[in-house]
Amino acid sequence: MNLLKTSILSFISVLVKMLALLGINKIIAIYAGPTGYASFGQFQNLMQMFNLIGSGGINNGVIKLTAEHNGKSEIQYQVWKTAFILSLVCTLFTSIVIISLRDFLSLYFFSTNSFEIIFVILSFSLFFLILNNFLLSILNGNGEIKKYTLANILGSILSVLFTLFLTFQYKLTGALIALCTYQSVSFIVTFILFIKTKYFSRKIFSAQFNPSHAKILLKFSLMTLVSAICTPLTLILIRNIINHELSWADAGYWEAAYRLSSVYTMIFSSILVVYFLPKFSFLQSKKEIIKEVKSGYILLTPFLIFSAVILYSTKEIIISILFSNEFSSVSEILKYQIIGDFIKIYGVLLSYLLISKSMTFEYITSEILFSFSFLIFSFILIKYMQLEGVTLAYLISYSIYLAINLFFIKKRISYKL
């Protein structure tokens, strides 16, 4: 499937998912306000960490190896069996950690132990969440973009209905439970679609655990886990800096700005992971790789510009619709955030090239340097520019991230991009 068709299908899929996430965020914004929204952001980042750690961080590796061995079913079955065992071990470990620390986590993120049950539910739903992403990775790696898209769309629709029901029944607690479990609901759809593919076979369960595949997958695990720890932890620390220098309400305003940019850039990020990661894994020629990178930039740039212009020119309206009137000051800090998003997508495209070629050291280095620079620049600039300083730090850090990725790729492939 070519880039344009993949982009259209990805856009439809992510549009539905984006609306689902915006609905959840709208509910939290109304019930919790700016201060509570900051705490909600902390919890979302914690969930992100547990999700990636629980999966072992191998989903990108599953996509790569599945794409590389397309048509070689016996090898693919070994890859999937190996990946499943690794994920299962990581999921069990993560679930035990969550249950053991549920009291501490509830007190730290919500200032009360009343939400211990949320973490218990998360620990049990983690297995289905991980399995859902695992099956989606197999569909993606095999180029089953239509089934992949359908699974995401139907899963998102079910998730919205599930979230609405729980929120109306149990208010904020229901919304948090939905946040923990909505991907588990999506698993039902993904599983039904997966068992109807030609790849579903008993051989998946009878295949051998392959140490050589495990070694490759663990490289991806290392890359993903570094990102899983660095990025959410950096965001948690930045919110604490904002709270210390300004207020927790200001941390909520920044969280709203960051969440808004994250949701709309999800459209572009999905295209990168659905199309470019399998494509880069398959390509071997330097010229083909450079051609693919350039075609990606040519296609993405006009849409990035269009999205940025629309978002900035209608920011007040969008904020009032997606959040509440309490978040009106968010529009004042979006300028640097939107420019940073533009540069971010350019950098992330190159990061998937690093992942596809198993450039572990380079990927980890760029992730750590981004997180470190974002934290340091936020700490410095907030003292001079208040909350807008954090969004400028975001722009500067992603500019550094893009430059680092360009440097590593030029050095590795010895070809001028």
Check residue 343 and give its pLDDT: 93
**131: pLDDT strictly greater than 60:** yes
pLDDT digits (tens, 9 = 90+) for 178-218: 878 877 778 888 888 888 877 777 666 666 777 888 887 88
pLDDT digits (tens, 9 = 90+) for 209-249: 778 888 878 877 787 778 778 888 899 899 989 988 998 88
**404: pLDDT strictly greater than 90:** yes
Distance CA 140, CA 277 (A): 9
Alpha helices for 246-333 (secondary structure H):
248-271, 277-282, 286-313, 315-322
Distance CA 22, CA 29 (A): 10
CB 224 within 8 A of CB 86: no
**283: pLDDT strictly greater than 70:** no
Distance CA 352, CA 160 (A): 30
Q: Cα separations (Å) of 127 from 132, 148, 220, 291?
A: 9, 20, 20, 39
User: Highest mean pLDDT range out of 1-5, 17-21, 402-406?
Assistant: 402-406
Distance CA 402, CA 379 (A): 21
CB 387 within 8 A of CB 335: no
Distance CA 122, CA 42 (A): 15
Check residue 31 and give its pLDDT: 67
Check residue 3 and give its pLDDT: 55
pLDDT digits (tens, 9 = 90+) for 311-353: 888 888 888 887 777 888 888 899 999 999 999 999 988 888 8
Q: Cα-Cα-Cα-Cα dihedral of 405, 55, 154, 66, to 10°? A: 70
What tokens were used for 125?
């739903």
Number of neighbouring beta carbons within 10 Å of residue 27: 21
Residue linked to tokens 């290392």: 222
**409: pLDDT strictly greater than 80:** yes
Q: Cα-Cα-Cα-Cα dihedral of 208, 209, 211, 213, to 10°? A: 90
What tokens were used for 167?
């929120």
- Give me the mean pLDDT over the 243-261 stretch: 88
What tokens were used for 210?
């392959």
Distance CA 385, CA 382 (A): 5
CB 280 within 8 A of CB 353: yes
Distance CA 159, CA 166 (A): 11
- Give me the mean pLDDT over the 348-371 stretch: 86
Q: Mean pLDDT check: name the lowest of 248-262, 285-299, 301-315, 400-414.
A: 285-299
Check residue 417 and give its pLDDT: 45
Amino acid letter, 133: N
Distance CA 205, CA 85 (A): 10
Check residue 340 and give its pLDDT: 93
Check residue 10 and give its pLDDT: 64
Check residue 279 and give its pLDDT: 72
Residue linked to tokens 């509830």: 106
Of the two residues 176 and 18, the one the predictor is more confident about is: 176
What tokens were used for 207?
């295949």
Check residue 4 and give its pLDDT: 59
- Give me the mean pLDDT over the 348-367 stretch: 84
Amino acid letter, 100: S
**1: pLDDT strictly greater than 60:** no
Q: Cα separations (Å) of 399 from 231, 345, 370?
A: 16, 11, 9
Q: Using CB atoms within 10 A of its CB, is residue 299 exposed (0-12), middle (13-18) or buried (19+)? A: middle
Q: What is the mean pLDDT of the chain?
A: 82
Residue linked to tokens 């959410």: 232
- Give me the mean pLDDT over the 85-94 stretch: 88
**269: pLDDT strictly greater than 80:** no
**388: pLDDT strictly greater than 90:** yes
Check residue 144 and give its pLDDT: 78
- Give me the mean pLDDT over the 53-79 stretch: 78
